[in-house]
């Protein structure tokens, strides 16, 4: 699978503030790329550069195999965190207007919009003003406008903000379906659970620099702790020769709950093989790090990682 977007050594300064410092990352075609980082890290500046709202001081953006050009913005759909709809306009009228700015005829815009409005259950609001809509309903309208012209690259900045769990799940499924249709998606959020649910690859920016970049599965493998959760019906007696150490133990509901730390070089298979000889195993599972754990660990230590380092440790 090829690369759709390359950001090469991009730097951007504002007066005395460096927003981006020599940032490089790659977004693969047909995948969902998580752009992560704390507030003020530089994510918004990078998104503005990709949308050609501002220009880098140095470096370049390679878009679909060539240097990015002004007309490429027509191949991008951008859902900003700060929504930009005109509250006094009618919903349908505004949606058609914005769709035509993206190159659709009025007839095609109305046809596509009506199909999406029916899908999202908001057709009765076509002739209502935006100011009459709830935050979640307005969010649906802006999402539809973002994807309506069928862009090659979609950039979603906090797309689930303002949604209840039911509507957030619907939007998540729509995003996954857009990926299946071949769209390349950049997904920026502070919600690490959302990242785990939809993203294939990530880049983590901190203090204007990329500190972590690569395939999410590989990254999670690199942060494995070797911790395993065991539930058994009988006490576990530890011996010095065991390939694990007992970190914690709790007895409840008639069962024994253990957290085990595998020793260096020991796999989960090694641990469970030894346990089978000692106790009846009711449950055994690795305690894998969440993206939230990884985020806090990397940002907390300010550790610099890159894709080459991750691959060399795989």
Q: How far apart are CA 230 and CA 236, in angstroms?
A: 10
Domain ranges of the chain: 3-221, 225-286
All residues at 6 or more sequence positions from 303 whose CB lies less than 8 Å from its CB, including other chains: 211, 297
Nearest Cα neighbor of 41 from 223, 295, 221, 216 is 295
Q: What is the mean pLDDT of the chain?
A: 91
pLDDT, residue 15, reads 87
Give the Cα separation of 233 and 283 in Å (integer).
10
The whole model's pTM is what? 0.86
pLDDT for the residue 308: 44
State pLDDT tens for residues 143-197. Answer: 999 999 999 999 999 898 878 899 999 999 999 999 999 999 999 988 888 899 9
Report how far apart, in Å, the C-alpha atoms of 18 and of each of 45, 59, 172, 210, 276 are: 10, 14, 34, 13, 56
pLDDT in tens, 3-37: 999 999 999 999 889 999 999 999 999 999 999 99
Q: In whole angstroms, give the CA distance from residue 1 to residue 31.
A: 9
Q: What is the predicted pLDDT for the residue at 83?
A: 67
| Residues paired with 20 in a beta bridge | 12
At 113 the pLDDT is 96
More confidently predicted of 16 and 206 = 206
Which of residues 303 and 97 earns the better pLDDT score? Answer: 97
**For the chain, what's the residue count?**
314
Q: What does the alpha-carbon distance between residue 191 and residue 216 come to, in Å, rounded to a whole number?
A: 15
pLDDT at 300: 78
- Does residue 306 surpass a pLDDT of 70? no
Q: Residue 110's pLDDT band (boundaries 50, 70, 90)?
A: very high
> Helix, strand or coil for residue 238?
coil
CATH number at 3-221: 3.40.50.300
What is the distance between the terminal CA atoms of the chain, rounded to a whole angstrom?
20
pLDDT computed for residue 301 by the predictor: 55
pLDDT of residue 312 exceeding 50, the answer is no
Chain Cα centroid distance, residue 312: 24
């Amino acid at each position: 699978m090829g690369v759709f977007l390359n950001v090469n050594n991009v730097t951007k300064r504002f007066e005395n503030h460096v927003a981006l410092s020599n940032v490089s990352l790659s977004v693969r075609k047909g995948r969902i790329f998580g752009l992560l980082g704390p507030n003020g890290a530089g994510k918004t500046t990078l998104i503005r550069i990709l949308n050609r709202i501002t220009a880098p001081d140095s470096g370049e953006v390679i878009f679909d195999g060539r240097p990015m050009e002004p007309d490429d913005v027509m191949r991008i759909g951008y859902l900003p965190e700060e929504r930009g709809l005109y509250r006094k306009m009618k919903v349908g009228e505004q949606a058609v207007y914005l769709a035509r700015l993206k190159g659709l005829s009025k007839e095609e815009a109305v046809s596509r919009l009506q199909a999406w409005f029916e899908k999202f259950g908001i057709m009765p609001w076509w002739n209502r003003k935006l100011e009459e809509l709830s935050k979640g309903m307005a969010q649906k309208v802006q999402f539809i406008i973002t994807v309506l012209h069928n862009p090659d690259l979609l950039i979603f900045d906090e797309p689930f903000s303002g949604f209840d769990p039911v509507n957030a799940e619907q939007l998540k499924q729509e995003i996954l379906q857009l990926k299946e249709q071949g769209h390349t998606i950049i997904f920026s959020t502070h919600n690490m659970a959302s990242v785990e649910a939809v993203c294939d690859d990530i880049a983590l920016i901190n203090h204007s620099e990329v500190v972590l970049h690569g395939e999410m599965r590989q990254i999670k493998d690199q942060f494995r702790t070797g911790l395993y959760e065991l539930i058994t019906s009988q006490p576990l007696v530890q011996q010095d020769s065991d390939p694990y150490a007992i970190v914690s133990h709790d007895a409840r509901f008639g069962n024994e709950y253990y957290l085990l730390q595998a020793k260096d070089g020991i796999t989960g298979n090694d641990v469970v093989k030894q346990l089978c000889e000692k106790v009846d195993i009711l449950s055994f599972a690795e305690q894998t790090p969440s993206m939230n754990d990884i985020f806090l660990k990397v940002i907390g230590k300010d550790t610099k990682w890159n894709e080459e380092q991750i691959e060399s440790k795989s």
